Amino acid sequence: MAAAAPLPQPDPSEMLVARARRGDQRAFEELYRLHHRRIYALALRMTRDPGRAEEMTQEAFVTAWGALPSFRGESAFGTWLHGLAVRVILRQVRSDRRWEERNEAAADLAGYLSEARRAMPETSLALERAIASLPDGARTVLVLHDVEGYKYEEIARLLGVALGTVKAQLHRARRLVMEALEA
């Protein structure tokens, strides 16, 4: 007799999402506990500022709570949440004048590396330093494509730029990172 095919393992988020959609705040907290590290890591690399990264992580989850009724389960919850978080973070970064000021402050890099060492002890600080030293646009594209695994088309859509711009930014970012690593 043929062995029965294993039953597909349910996504642990699915039941939580269903409950959260009905307004169950405890279920949403569980979803936060499952996914917040991913969002914080993204926000940290995008902003290079631990305080702003915390704020943006919170903003992403508050936005997700409000947007839950629009989540139709066409993708995994984590994927949906990540895309939403990218949009939230990009919007915040663009509108945050203080962030632009910090962007030019050399002292921020030390603060970022200190937080990266604490929050991601297994990371390569040389790579993190090289990424953090990139110009804003190049860093955003590199983080989304090479670290987070987004496709060119998805990044172009998220940033509202042409596909060629994304490819050019990525090429430039990689070259600058290589130079930084070889220096």
Partner 1 sequence: MSTNDDDLSTRLGSLPKEAEPARDLWPGIEARILDGRTVIPARRRASALLRLAAALLIFVSGLAVGHVWGRNAATSDSAARRHPLAAAEEVQRTGTEYVAAVAALREETRSEVRTQGREAAFSTLYGAAHELARQSPNDADASQLLNSASRARGRSIRF
Residues binding partner 1 (CB under 8 A)? 25, 28-29, 32-33, 36-38, 40-42, 44, 50, 53-54, 57-58, 61-62, 65-66, 115-116, 118-120, 122-124, 127-128, 131, 142, 146-149, 174, 177-178
Looking at the Cβ atoms of 37 and 151, the one nearer to partner 1 is 37
Half-sphere exposure in the Cβ direction for 15 (13 Å, CA): 5
Within the chain, where are the H helices?
12-21, 25-47, 50-67, 77-95, 97-103, 107-119, 125-132, 136-142, 152-159, 163-182
CA distance from start to end of the chain:
64
Q: Could you tell me the smallest distance in angstroms from the CB atom of residue 8 to partner 1? A: 25
Check: CB of residue 78 under 8 Å from CB of residue 121: no
Q: Could you tell me the smallest distance in angstroms from the CB atom of residue 3 to partner 1? A: 35
Q: Could you tell me the smallest distance in angstroms from the CB atom of residue 160 to partner 1? A: 24
Per residue in 124-157, is it b (16+ CB within 10 Å) or e — as a string?
eeeebbbbbebeebbbbbbbbbeebebebebbbe
Q: Could you tell me the smallest distance in angstroms from the CB atom of residue 143 to partner 1? A: 9
Looking at the Cβ atoms of 93 and 170, the one nearer to partner 1 is 170
Looking at the Cβ atoms of 93 and 134, the one nearer to partner 1 is 134
Looking at the Cβ atoms of 119 and 158, the one nearer to partner 1 is 119
Looking at the Cβ atoms of 6 and 126, the one nearer to partner 1 is 126
Q: Could you tell me the smallest distance in angstroms from the CB atom of residue 84 to partner 1? A: 14
> What is the distance between the alpha carbons of residues 141 and 155, in angstroms, rounded to a whole number?
7
